[in-house]
Amino acid sequence: MTTTTHPLNETLAETTLLRFATAGSVDDGKSTLVGRLLHDSKSVLTDQLEAVEHASRNRGQDTPDLALLTDGLRAEREQGITIDVAYRYFATPRRRFILADTPGHVQYTRNMVTGASTAELAVVLVDARNGVVEQTRRHAAVAALLRVPHVVLAVNKMDLVDWSEKEFLRISEDFARCAAELDHPLGGFTAIPVSALTGDNVVDRSARMDWYTGPTLLDHLETVRTDDGQADRPARLPVSCVIRHGDDRYYAGQLTSGELRTGDAVVVLPSGVTSTVTAVDRLGSRVDAAYALDSVSVRLAGDLDIGRGDLIAPVAEAPALTRSVDADVCHLHDRTLSVGDRVLLKHTTRTVKAIVQDLPGRPDGLTTNELGRIRLRTAEPLAADPYAASRRTGSFLLIDPADGATLTAGMVR
Amino acid sequence: MNDTLTTGTHATPPETTGPETTGPRRSHLDSLESEAVHIFREVAGEFERPVILFSGGKDSIVMLHLALKAFAPAPIPFTLLHVDTGHNFPEVLDYRDRTVAAHGLRLHIASVQDYIDAGTLRERPDGTRNPLQTVPLTEAIQHHRFDAVFGGGRRDEEKARAKERVFSLRDEFSQWDPRRQRPELWQLYNGRHAPGEHVRVFPISNWTELDVWQYIQREHIQLPEIYFAHHREVFDRGGMWLTAGDWGGPKDTEPTQTRLVRYRTVGDMSCTGAVDSDATTLDAVITEIAASRLTERGATRADDKMSEAAMEDRKREGYF
């Protein structure tokens, strides 16, 4: 067998997956932190590092600029800025990670919203010298609005405050106060003192902060729970497509929450037709029960008219139907969203026509990166849950019917 | 409220750590598989004429396997498209044809050689045909009016790919504009497109090379033999072992030798290098990849080494 230091070689067993996002302002050292995490977990391979060293030398830099690992586009490298969300992949023997690396420059809010929409954890970075600033409050607010289940406050640049426990505690308490004042509750957070530059408490435990007894950043990422409570919620199966085989019809989709079993009494929305589950298949195999986030196909008793966009839910715990949607939104597009706009609303697998009825407090409309409230009226009834209960059945996009552009991200209240 | 907040001087709070207590434990391969299947079904539900790019390489083989699972027990509701550079490994073409026949699929072939013979494309001085694939690919998409084109691209492959969406809108010239991509949130994929435009769809965006191999092992998926160590006549060009063959190598100044090698990627013979390896089984291949300090493309793809933005530039022109 080959002997190596690569962490994956210690065990090649299947592990769990954690999706997380980073948020930081321009000079918080986010690129350095991400670079340090990738580098110290031995996730940067030789040819990538050589490419970065080569590019850094060409720019007249003495040391490899780890930010170049994450800046993938010509314009980003030329301008030295990060334009867009990039996804990074790394693994340890305990877990596989998908990191949504969101830029701290312009177009900031919509990028963090994008990264946070699928994240199970958000790392909010602060500079220990500056503590909690306006941008930190914004990061916390976005993480809370998007209901990211776990938040880490990474207090960075501890090397520049003499590794001071007092400073760290002060910042943690400030952040706790700021979290308590948010419109939406933050589920709790874990504060970790780090130095991305020197690597203290990122992957390796710091010898210079022996007063800190909590986990390193990587320890925490490896052990944080990944289920977000959706297993315990009522079942929801948005139908993606219908699979016909002989005379049989299978309603295929990804179960966004709960469990679905043979024999369950279900209702199909929006029609309201009721039926019973006669079979559950998980990717071609018959199973007794399917669980949240399984891609499944189900068969139902009776000759039913069901298609893409329908939602299958337990009779006893079905969502209410509505044509009036009250939501929190983040506007993503350069075009302003105004009252009276006719849009398409994409919710789970269903797309319906909608009209913007009200933008409270925004008489001039919503512009790029703005967060706000909206009231929409839809042409057909929608079976939506509150976003607080389900990120999958409580979220939607607004789309421009003229050119298909994605305009706005919405979260049902 | 403050009761739920913890700071780092406390022990890690019990409510956020420890093993999952509800639902079945889901492995990372289960998560990636479920996500990919969801993407296949979303396309089946929203598009008129989707096609899967199928080369007989491991990523497209995994895609085909996922598509079979997504629509079981019915057959895959898509056709396949192979862009044949004319310099493909015979073992791979053989695998391609056997697979297509075994599943009763329909395969379209867009041939670079046909374009060269017709005088529409000209052979490059370096003999590399990878960049020449773009024209046959985009013309096949227009000719067949495909509106969704599945590709096996993974974001871990290359830094420009890391910036691409799962649903990547292309204009009528198949061009990718990284600055005008649609934000992609939750699992809500926006497939709206105007006539003439199409969407490139990447169901295994979030997979790494190792995930692909672990999945192949878990699912007992058969691969072309060139992925496993075998003796082969090769020659050194630019630090890579290229296979001698009708495509034009080696030159007189490039002596050949027989080595024990295998391939990490499968592509055009003129620019896909073999790696020295004695890995003849899946277990051995996975051990080797886990230990490798080189990325797949860094080890085996000559065309990506041409410039810092080689992939980005080709993608802008319509490459997948």
Please identify among residues 105-144 of chain A the ones whose CB lies closer than 8 Å to any CB of chain B.
110-111, 113-114, 117-118
Q: Are A150 and B18 a contacting pair, CB within 8 Å?
A: no
pLDDT at A71: 56
Q: Are strands A350-358 and A406-412 parallel, antiparallel or unpaired?
A: unpaired
pLDDT at B141: 94
Residues in chain B: 320
pLDDT at A215: 97
pLDDT at B13: 34
Task: Using CB atoms, pick whichever of A96, A190, A291 lies closest to residue B28.
Answer: A96
* Strands ordered across the beta sheet of B107-111: B107-111, B79-84, B50-53, B148-150, B198-201, B167-170
State whether residue B287 sits within 8 Å of chain A by CB.
Answer: yes
A179: chain B residues, CB-CB within 8 Å:
5
Per-residue pLDDT of chain A (413 residues; tens, 9 = 90+): 333 334 444 445 678 999 999 987 666 677 788 888 888 877 776 777 777 778 778 877 776 666 666 655 555 545 544 457 878 888 888 899 999 988 766 567 888 899 999 999 999 999 999 999 988 998 999 999 999 999 999 999 999 999 999 999 999 999 999 999 998 888 889 999 999 989 999 999 999 999 999 999 999 999 998 877 788 899 999 999 999 999 999 999 999 999 999 999 999 999 999 999 999 999 989 999 999 999 999 999 999 999 999 999 999 999 999 999 999 999 999 999 999 999 999 999 999 999 999 999 999 999 999 999 999 999 999 999 999 999 999 999 999 999 999 999 999 99
B183/A409 Cβ within 8 A: yes
Quick one: which of A18, A396, A14 has its CA closest to A228? A18
pLDDT at A128: 96
A404/B192 Cβ within 8 A: yes
Please identify among residues 229-258 of chain A the ones whose CB lies closer than 8 Å to any CB of chain B.
229, 231-232, 240-241, 243-245, 250, 252-254
3-state percent helix, strand, coil for chain A, nearest multiple of 5: 25, 35, 40
pLDDT at A59: 75
Residue that has been written with the tokens 């949240």 in this structure: A292
Q: How many CB atoms lie within 10 A of CB A364?
A: 9
Task: Using CB atoms, pick whichever of A46, A224, A283 lies closest to residue B37.
Answer: A283
B179/A4 Cβ within 8 A: no
A395/B186 Cβ within 8 A: yes
pLDDT at B19: 39
Q: Which amino acid, A169?
A: L
B312: chain A residues, CB-CB within 8 Å:
72-74
pLDDT at A312: 98
Token code pair at residue B175: 């061009």
Residue B56's region, left for phi above 0, alpha for psi from -120 to 50, else beta, is left
B156/A89 Cβ within 8 A: yes
Reported confidence tier of residue B7, pLDDT bands at 50, 70, 90: very low
pLDDT at B10: 33
A294/B41 Cβ within 8 A: no
Task: Using CB atoms, pick whichever of A84, A214, A232 lies closest to residue B10.
Answer: A214
In the predicted model, what is the mean pLDDT of residues B146-164? 87
pLDDT at B248: 75
Q: Are A227 and A291 a contacting pair, CB within 8 Å?
A: no
pLDDT at B178: 78
B190/A404 Cβ within 8 A: yes
The strand pairing partners of B232, in sequence order, are B259
ipTM here: 0.91
Please identify among residues 125-154 of chain B the ones whose CB lies closer than 8 Å to any CB of chain A.
none
Give percent above pLDDT 70 in chain A: 89
- Tell me how far apart the alpha carbons of residues B11 and A341 are, in angstroms, rounded to a whole number: 51
In the predicted model, what is the mean pLDDT of residues B139-167? 89
Task: Look at A390 and B265; give whichever has higher pLDDT.
Answer: A390
Residue that has been written with the tokens 């629509």 in this structure: B71
In the predicted model, what is the mean pLDDT of residues B225-242? 90
- Tell me how far apart the alpha carbons of residues B21 and B30 are, in angstroms, rounded to a whole number: 18
pLDDT at B315: 65
Q: How many CB atoms lie within 10 A of CB A106?
A: 10
Burial of A154 from C-beta contacts in 10 A (0-12 / 13-18 / 19+): buried
Q: Are B318 and B134 a contacting pair, CB within 8 Å?
A: yes
pLDDT at A328: 97
CA A372 from centre of chain: 19
Please identify among residues 206-245 of chain B the ones whose CB lies closer than 8 Å to any CB of chain A.
206, 208, 210-211, 214, 218
Reported confidence tier of residue B60, pLDDT bands at 50, 70, 90: very high
A–B: how many Cβ contacts below 8 A? 269
State whether residue B24 sits within 8 Å of chain A by CB.
Answer: yes
Q: Which of A153-157, A169-173, B166-170, B239-243 has the lowest mean pLDDT?
A: B239-243
B186/A117 Cβ within 8 A: yes
Q: Are strands B50-53 and B148-150 parallel, antiparallel or unpaired?
A: parallel
Picking from A1, A54, A65, A73 by the largest number of B CB atoms within 10 A of its own CB, the best residue to mutate is A73
pLDDT at A154: 96
A15/B183 Cβ within 8 A: no
Q: From the CA of A190, how many Å to the nearest CA of chain B?
A: 6
Q: Which of A240-254, B3-17, B208-222 has the lowest mean pLDDT?
A: B3-17
* Contact partners, residue A272, CB within 8 Å, separation at least 6: none
Residue that has been written with the tokens 């949504």 in this structure: A100
State whether residue B1 sits within 8 Å of chain A by CB.
Answer: yes
Token code pair at residue A88: 């990074």
Q: What is the DSSP string of A65-126?
A: -GGGGT--SHHHHHHT---S-EEEEEE-SSEEEEEEE--SSSSHHHHHHHHHHS-SEEEEEE
pLDDT at B281: 93
pLDDT at A106: 52
- Tell me how far apart the alpha carbons of residues A310 and A348 are, in angstroms, rounded to a whole number: 9
Q: From the CA of A406, how many Å to the nearest CA of chain B?
A: 6
B17/A214 Cβ within 8 A: no
Q: From the CA of A61, how many Å to the nearest CA of chain B?
A: 17
Give percent above pLDDT 70 in chain B: 84
Reported confidence tier of residue B5, pLDDT bands at 50, 70, 90: very low
A293/B24 Cβ within 8 A: no
A293: chain B residues, CB-CB within 8 Å:
26, 31, 34
pLDDT at B317: 63
CA distances (Å), B303 to each of B129, B131, B248, B314, in order? 10, 8, 17, 10
pTM: 0.90
- Tell me how far apart the alpha carbons of residues A110 and B220 are, in angstroms, rounded to a whole number: 42
The strand pairing partners of A76, in sequence order, are none
Q: From the CA of A132, how many Å to the nearest CA of chain B?
A: 14
Buried b (16+ CB within 10 A) or exposed e, B296-309: bbbbbbbbbbbebb
* Contact partners, residue A204, CB within 8 Å, separation at least 6: A40, A216
A9/B183 Cβ within 8 A: no
pLDDT at A87: 85
pLDDT at B48: 95
A72/B287 Cβ within 8 A: no
- Tell me how far apart the alpha carbons of residues A111 and A261 are, in angstroms, rounded to a whole number: 38
User: Which tens digits make up the pLDDT trace of B275-296?
Assistant: 899 999 999 998 888 877 776 6
Q: Which of A374-378, B125-129, B162-166 has the lowest mean pLDDT?
A: B125-129
Residue B125's region, left for phi above 0, alpha for psi from -120 to 50, else beta, is alpha
Please identify among residues 180-199 of chain B the ones whose CB lies closer than 8 Å to any CB of chain A.
181-188, 190, 192-194
Picking from A132, A241, A398 by the largest number of B CB atoms within 10 A of its own CB, the best residue to mutate is A241
pLDDT at B4: 37
CA distances (Å), A374 to each of A125, A166, A338, in order? 30, 43, 10
The strand pairing partners of B258, in sequence order, are B233
In the predicted model, what is the mean pLDDT of residues B199-206? 96
Residue that has been written with the tokens 């009200």 in this structure: A358
B15/A87 Cβ within 8 A: no
pLDDT at B302: 53
pLDDT at B309: 61
Task: Using CB atoms, pick whichever of A110, A308, A404 lies closest to residue B183.
Answer: A110
Instruction: Kindly identify which residue of chain B lies nearest to residue A226, measuring between CA atoms.
Output: B20
